[in-house]
Amino acid sequence: METILVLAHTEADGSLAQPAREAIAAAQTLGPFHVGLIGNHTQQAANQIAGCGAEKFFAVTGAEFAQPRYATDAAAAEAIARTAAATIILVPHTSRWGRVAAGVAARLGGRADTHVTGIAAGPTITRWYYRQRMEAQMTRTQRPWLIALDPGCVAPLQGAAGTATILPVNVTATSRTQVCGVKAPATSQQTIRPDAKLLFVAGAGWTKKQPDGQTHVAEAAEIILGFLNASQASLGSSKSLVDLSGEGQAVLPFMSHLNQIGQTGSTPRHRKGLATCCHGEEPHTVGWRFIVERRAINLDPNCGWARGKADVLYVADAFAVMRKVNELLAAKP
């Protein structure tokens, strides 16, 4: 019989974020499980999921565990795993857990698998190889087995609030590392929103000459930002658009290589996607593998989206369409 443990960090406001609630929802399908919480305050998070069905709630609590640091994160995770005698350890594959997953498994004499996209009884995990081209199902005999579940693969735990009894786990861990702040890429806006329902992709067409023979980059930036602010969509880009800055051409100031979707970019998970002024070539659309409903706006009826890559292709001027969409969004009560 496996002893399943879900580990999660609490947020600055004491709550549990969606990736953590997804990992708990995944554990619910496997059988009895425990939850281990790490953070400055853990009672609020435990109460948030009190009715999730966990047998025990372990917690490492303290200001030193609020900071995302290898030394304290790994020590806390190891201590809870040992206290719970866990054989299967499930964590959300956030950047914070991704940093410590392998180290925690090594400390426990176990194995880690990251970027897991599904988990079923056994447990058997699903993950992708070769840049999301081949899907494998696998299991392991080694225990403990630490499994890092990619966000967006499981519907998150909803509701389940109540009053939970926490079992404190004492950890003495210090670190000379102090997190002083966040250094983000040189974009003027935070445009990547992994939790957004919609992915809005801008292609190089936004910076190209339009039917009047002129480029309209400033207007493109205004339209795109206006839409992002009104819809809270996440912004993706084609490679051509983010590469333009290196070629000294007019570019959208809020765009960086982090926005790039595709074979050499990211493969985000959003319910819907809208591509604009983007041709829809295979190296780009391969990054849309997990986008459930796809739409595109392109002047060219023969663009790549028309060839089975989009559910709906609007053959239209994206400037005109998005200007109208922004107008409608602004008029919405």
Ligand X SMILES: Cc1cc2nc3c(=O)[nH]c(=O)nc-3n(C[C@H](O)[C@H](O)[C@H](O)COP(=O)(O)OP(=O)(O)OC[C@H]3O[C@@H](n4cnc5c(N)ncnc54)[C@H](O)[C@@H]3O)c2cc1C
Q: What is the amino acid identity at position 8?
A: A
Q: Does 34 bind ligand X (CB under 6 A)?
A: no
Residue with smaller CB distance to ligand X, 311 or 317: 317
The distance of closest approach from Cβ of residue 313 to ligand X in the complex, given in angstroms and rounded to an integer, is 10
Q: Does 240 bind ligand X (CB under 6 A)?
A: yes
The distance of closest approach from Cβ of residue 220 to ligand X in the complex, given in angstroms and rounded to an integer, is 9
**Is residue 301 reached through a cis peptide bond, with omega within 30 degrees of 0 on the bond before it?**
no
- What's phi and psi for 302, nearest 5 deg? -105, 15
The distance of closest approach from Cβ of residue 333 to ligand X in the complex, given in angstroms and rounded to an integer, is 29
Residue with smaller CB distance to ligand X, 145 or 319: 319
Binding mask 254-283 for ligand X (x = CB under 6 A): ------xxxxxx-----------xxx-x-x
Instruction: Report angle CA 22, 258, 177 to the nearest 5 degrees.
Output: 70
Residue with smaller CB distance to ligand X, 70 or 128: 128
Binder of ligand X out of 43, 117, 210, 234 (CB under 6 A):
210
Contact in structure between 315 and 301 (CB atoms under 8 Å): yes
Q: Does 295 bind ligand X (CB under 6 A)?
A: no
Binder of ligand X out of 205, 291, 294, 325 (CB under 6 A):
205
**Is residue 168 reached through a cis peptide bond, with omega within 30 degrees of 0 on the bond before it?**
no
Contact in structure between 323 and 317 (CB atoms under 8 Å): no
Residue with smaller CB distance to ligand X, 123 or 265: 265
The residue among 76, 9, 57, 80 whose CA lies nearest residue 89 is: 80
Contact in structure between 219 and 319 (CB atoms under 8 Å): yes
CA gap 256, 253 in Å, rounded: 8
Binding mask 165-204 for ligand X (x = CB under 6 A): --------------------------------------xx
The distance of closest approach from Cβ of residue 281 to ligand X in the complex, given in angstroms and rounded to an integer, is 4
CA gap 233, 200 in Å, rounded: 6
Residue with smaller CB distance to ligand X, 160 or 325: 325
Six token digits for residue 155: 């519907």
Q: Does 10 bind ligand X (CB under 6 A)?
A: no
Instruction: Report angle CA 157, 63, 23 to the nearest 5 degrees.
Output: 20
Six token digits for residue 114: 């990251």
CA gap 266, 286 in Å, rounded: 9
* Contacts to ligand X from residues 116-145, by CB under 6 A: none
Binder of ligand X out of 47, 48, 117, 298 (CB under 6 A):
298
The distance of closest approach from Cβ of residue 286 to ligand X in the complex, given in angstroms and rounded to an integer, is 7
Length of the chain: 333
* Contacts to ligand X from residues 91-120, by CB under 6 A: none
Residues contributing to the site for ligand X (CB under 6 A): 203-205, 208, 210, 238-241, 260-265, 277-279, 281, 283-284, 287, 297-300, 303, 317-319
